[in-house]
Amino acid sequence: MSNEDRERHLRDRTGKYILKPNTCGKADVWKHFSIVYEKGVDADDIIQNTCACNKCYKCYQLNDARGRLNGTKNLLDHLTRCAGPVSQVQLQLSQCLTQKPQISKGDMSLLKRKQVEYCVDGYNSFKSDYEQL
């Protein structure tokens, strides 16, 4: 049976095919895909070498023609089309810090003096950003 037929049966909930979570999958993408099983005559369901999106029931082959496992790249690509881009926002440094570092008045005056010495000794510009600290 083709993947289109499996997708139709899954969408129509005919009961011919059922989805079971992939408990062996390590990638996060398996939270959005399940393994397709054909409802067996006896108690055992028969695996169909297919997985399906839990949202739209689009089916993908688990193994290639030689029996080797396919990767998850095509599943990740499907997720961006089906559910939109998966959010992977990098945290800002300010989100990780609990409080802004405090500089004592003594350290601030020492810092200003060192900046003046640096500017005078090296003939550097007196414009500095010490006030932003």
Over the stretch 9-59, which tens digit does the pLDDT of each residue have? 888 888 888 888 888 888 888 888 988 888 875 556 677 788 999 888 899
Number of structural domains, the chain? 1
Establish if 34 belongs to a structural domain. Answer: yes
Establish if 50 belongs to a structural domain. Answer: yes
Amino acid (1-letter code) at residue 24: C
Question: pLDDT by residue (tens digit) across 80-95?
Answer: 888 665 555 666 666 6
Establish if 106 belongs to a structural domain. Answer: no
Establish if 91 belongs to a structural domain. Answer: no
Establish if 93 belongs to a structural domain. Answer: no
Establish if 67 belongs to a structural domain. Answer: yes
**More confident of the two residues 65 and 77:** 77
Establish if 48 belongs to a structural domain. Answer: yes
**DSSP output for the chain:** --HHHHHHHHHHT-SSEEEEE-SS--SGGGGSEEEEEEPPSSSPPEEEEEEEETTT--EEESB-TTSPBP-SHHHHHHHHHHT-PPP-PPPPHHHH-SS-----HHHHHHHHHHHHHHHHHHT--S---GGG-
- Residue 129 pLDDT level (bands cut at 50, 70, 90): low
Establish if 32 belongs to a structural domain. Answer: yes
What global pTM score does this model have?
Answer: 0.55
